[in-house]
């Protein structure tokens, strides 16, 4: 082939997918590997949801770009029950929240402030959209929400260099740290966003997996409704990442309408409409029938138990680690063990460490550097099998659907 290979855009595989592929290669070669890299719930998908998908398998036509009216109404109801009354006309569905976030960044058309650390794809997507990410150092345990002064300073500095900064992205609850910000912290960032005219992109994909059921997620859409976009998906709390279905809730008012139109234009040129059978199942899911609510609740409790136990083990071994407050991630910082890791294993970098864990111990995890953080930090996705052993975990997972 005489393609101008040198002219191809060098886009590396997203670290989460790259670790998945490395694990798959080892498995094909017959090695047992514990897959703790990719962010997935360790519970099965609920059979009632599977039935809904199967019942709609014959829906083969394209639908509206924004998603079906039934799905948009169900998603609006989902947010309404969480204190965010939502106009279904301002809901846009897409094939996963990842493509929706990318389309949003393209629509916003400027640079974007991202907490450091934060989810691997924000910075990479900003770069693909022709923008530059501005990392705002955000100490672990802050729930992924930077201090207002740190955000304001980073944005002002970038603007002083002539850059157009349009948005700040927050993950609530946070990935990779598994922590949840306070309402006060979110309000502070919203005030800065208003002062500096930034759009707030609130990725709330882990909202329903907060370990303490009495804690609520302080959505920026409460404090800055005129400028906040909220996204979520079926991927995490319903364990249906492979179905590829996400939804975005656009800001109220004229700006929200204009942003929706820009988003729909981009969506119409990329995915046309989300997959029709999955939209049908998603409308069922977002209506939150009691069996799915109970399923998410059991998943939440299982992950809380495993994440807490794994974090305690790391703390006992001398790592710096916070007890996760949501989702299924543990984010230990192995800084205090750096010397020993080098002496005993020749480990210098995060890549050395994750390579050692995969090659020698058959454990696939991600280095902090994938999230724009120190490489001595590791993000591990934890699953019930870690705490209970594979067989017990399967029995526990079966408990998740007594029907």
Site residues for ligand PLP per CB under 6 A? 39, 96-98, 119, 171, 175, 203, 205, 233, 235, 241, 246
Whether 199 contacts 227, CB under 8 Å: yes
DSSP per-residue codes, 345-391? H---SHHHHHHHHHHHH-EE-EEGGGGTS-TTBEEEE--HHHHHHHH
Nearer to ligand PLP, 155 or 205 (CB): 205
Of 232 and 354, CB closest to ligand PLP: 232
Beta carbon nearer to ligand PLP, 107 or 370: 370
Q: How far is the CB of 399 from ligand PLP (least distance, A)?
A: 25
* 140 within 8 A of 177, measured Cβ to Cβ: yes
Half-sphere exposure of 298 (CA within 13 A, CB side): 20
Residue nearer to ligand PLP on the CB measure, 227 or 381: 381
For the CB of residue 18, give the shortest distance to ligand PLP in the complex, in Å.
13
- Is 393 within 8 Å of 385 (Cβ atoms)? yes
Comparing CB distances to ligand PLP, the nearer of 175 and 273 is: 175
Please state, in angstroms and rounded to a whole number, the distance separating the CA atoms of residues 341 and 368.
16
CB of 271 to ligand PLP, least distance (A): 12
User: Quick one: residue 185, left, alpha or beta (phi over 0 = left, psi -120 to 50 = alpha)?
Assistant: alpha
Q: Is the CB of 78 or the CB of 388 nearer to ligand PLP?
A: 78
Cβ 14 to ligand PLP, closest distance in Å? Answer: 9
Return the number of other C-beta atoms located less than 10 Å from residue 21's C-beta.
12
Rounded to a whole number of angstroms, the minimum distance from the CB of residue 379 to ligand PLP is 10
Identify which of residues 50 and 196 has a Cβ nearer to ligand PLP in the complex: 50
Peptide bond into 321 cis (omega under 30): no
Q: How far is the CB of 144 from ligand PLP (least distance, A)?
A: 9
In the complex, minimum distance from the CB of residue 291 to ligand PLP, in angstroms, rounded to a whole number: 22
At 201, is the secondary structure helix, strand, or coil?
A: strand
Q: Single out the residue of 402, 364, 397, 379 nearest to residue 22, CA to CA.
A: 364
């Amino acid at each position: 082939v005489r393609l101008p290979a040198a002219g191809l855009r060098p886009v590396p595989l997203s670290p989460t997918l790259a670790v998945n592929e490395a694990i798959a290669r080892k498995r094909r070669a017959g090695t047992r590997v514990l897959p703790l890299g990719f962010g997935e719930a360790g519970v099965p998908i609920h059979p009632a949801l599977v039935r809904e998908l199967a019942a709609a398998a014959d829906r083969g036509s394209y639908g509206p770009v924004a998603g079906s009216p039934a799905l948009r109404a169900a998603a609006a109801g989902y947010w309404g029950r969480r204190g965010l009354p939502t106009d279904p006309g301002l809901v846009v569905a897409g094939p996963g929240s990842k493509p929706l976030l990318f389309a949003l960044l393209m629509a916003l058309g400027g640079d974007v402030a991202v907490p450091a650390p934060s989810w691997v794809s924000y910075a990479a997507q900003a770069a693909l959209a022709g923008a530059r990410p501005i990392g705002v150092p955000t100490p672990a345990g802050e729930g992924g929400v930077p201090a207002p002064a740190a955000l304001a300073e980073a944005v002002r500095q970038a603007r002083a260099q002539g850059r157009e900064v349009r948005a700040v992205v927050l993950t609530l609850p946070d990935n990779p740290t598994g922590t949840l910000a306070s309402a006060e912290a979110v309000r502070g960032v919203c005030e800065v966003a208003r002062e500096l005219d930034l759009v707030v992109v609130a990725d709330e994909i882990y909202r329903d997996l907060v370990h303490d059921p009495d804690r609520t997620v302080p959505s920026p859409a409460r404090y800055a409704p005129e400028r906040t976009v909220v996204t979520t998906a079926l991927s995490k709390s319903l364990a249906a990442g492979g179905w590829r279905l996400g939804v975005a809730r656009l800001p109220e008012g004229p700006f929200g309408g204009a942003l929706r139109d820009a988003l729909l234009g981009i969506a119409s040129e990329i995915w046309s409409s989300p997959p029709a059978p999955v939209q049908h199942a998603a409308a069922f899911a977002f209506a939150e029938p009691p069996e799915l609510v109970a399923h998410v609740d059991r998943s939440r409790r299982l992950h809380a138990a495993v994440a807490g136990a794994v974090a305690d083990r790391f703390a006992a071994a001398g790592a710096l680690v916070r007890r996760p407050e949501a989702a299924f991630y543990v984010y230990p910082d192995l800084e205090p063990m750096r010397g020993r890791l080098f002496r005993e294993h020749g480990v210098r970098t995060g890549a050395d460490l994750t390579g050692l864990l995969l090659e020698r111990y058959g454990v696939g995890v991600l280095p902090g550097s994938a999230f724009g953080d120190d490489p001595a930090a590791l993000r591990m996705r934890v699953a019930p099998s870690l705490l209970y052993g594979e067989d017990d975990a399967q029995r526990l997972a079966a408990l998740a659907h007594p029907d």
